[in-house]
Amino acid sequence: MFLTSFLKKISSSESKPPPEKVNSVILEKVVTVSSPVNLPSWKDRSIWTSSCRQEPNVQNQCQEIKEIITDLLRTIRDPEKPNTLEDLLVITDESVQVQPFEENGYLVRIDFNPTVPHCSLASLIGLCLRGKIQKNVVERIKLDIVIAEGKHSTEEEINKQINDKERVAAALENPNLKEMVDSCIRDEE
């Protein structure tokens, strides 16, 4: 009897706003706040050993966000070849990592593997990944997109480019580049 009343009390105290439907996936609408934040160093990969805090609800939310983002990335087309990034193993299920960040936010890291170490379109692929997520995910996230360590000859330079808001905005002001990104991230009907 005590357990039943306790469970009712918990479930009634966890009232959430109604979900919104986005791309056939239910997500909770969260207001995005853009403010400078202190992030852990991405060189410290130990923060990713446990993808989320130990609370089951937070773990479930992290897993749901990971699945949503992974499904979105599966459909991105390669800029040069008639394949998706998933077909070419540029993106895999292990490429996306999610962990809680600040209150009601998530830190999303995407590691991608260019097909060759001297890939000339790695920056464009990074822009495509960022564009697809920003257009489709309503969760409050901090997004970090990087080339997997040791997989490209200029990975540090490209990582800086694709994670710099001003550089990304400037790149997408170029109509030709924006058209290329849009054609890669366009959903097939």
Is residue 188 pLDDT above 90, yes or no?
no
- In angstroms, rounded to a whole number, what is the distance separating the alpha carbons of residues 128 and 79? 9
Within a domain: residue 175?
A: yes
pLDDT value at residue 189? 52
User: Which segment of 16-30, 142-156, 157-171 scores lowest on mean pLDDT?
Assistant: 16-30
The pLDDT score that the predictor gives to residue 55 is: 67
Structural tokens at position 152? 């490209």
pLDDT above 60 (res 22): no
Residue 155 forms part of a structural domain: yes
pLDDT score, position 2 = 39
> Concatenated DSSP letters for 20-84?
EEETTEEE--------------TT-GGGGSS-S-S-HHHHHHHHHHHHHHHHHHHTPBPSSSSSB
Q: pLDDT value at position 140? A: 87
Q: What is the CATH number of the domain that holds 137?
A: 3.30.300.130
Let me know if residue 130 belongs to a domain.
Answer: yes
Q: Is 142 helix (H, G, I), strand (E, B) or coil?
A: strand
Q: What is the pLDDT of residue 138?
A: 76
Task: Tell whether the model's pLDDT for residue 115 goes beyond 70.
Answer: yes
pLDDT at 41 over 60: no
Query: How high does pLDDT run on average in the chain?
Result: 76
Q: Examine the pLDDT at 83 and tell me if it is beyond 80.
A: yes
> Edge-to-edge, what's the strand order for the sheet holding 141-147?
96-101, 105-112, 141-147
179 domain residue, yes or no: yes
Angstrom distance (rounded) from CA 129 to CA 122: 11
**What pLDDT score does 11 carry?**
42
pLDDT category at 35 given cuts 50, 70, 90 is: very low
Predicted pLDDT at 7: 38
* Total number of domains in the chain: 1
Q: Is the pLDDT of residue 10 over 90?
A: no
Domain contains 13: no
Token pair recorded at residue 84? 């998706």
Instruction: Pick the range with the lowest mean pLDDT from 14-28, 115-129, 143-157.
Output: 14-28
Domain that holds residue 97: 52-185
Give the mean model confidence (pLDDT) for residues 142-161. Answer: 93
Q: Does 8 fall in a domain? A: no
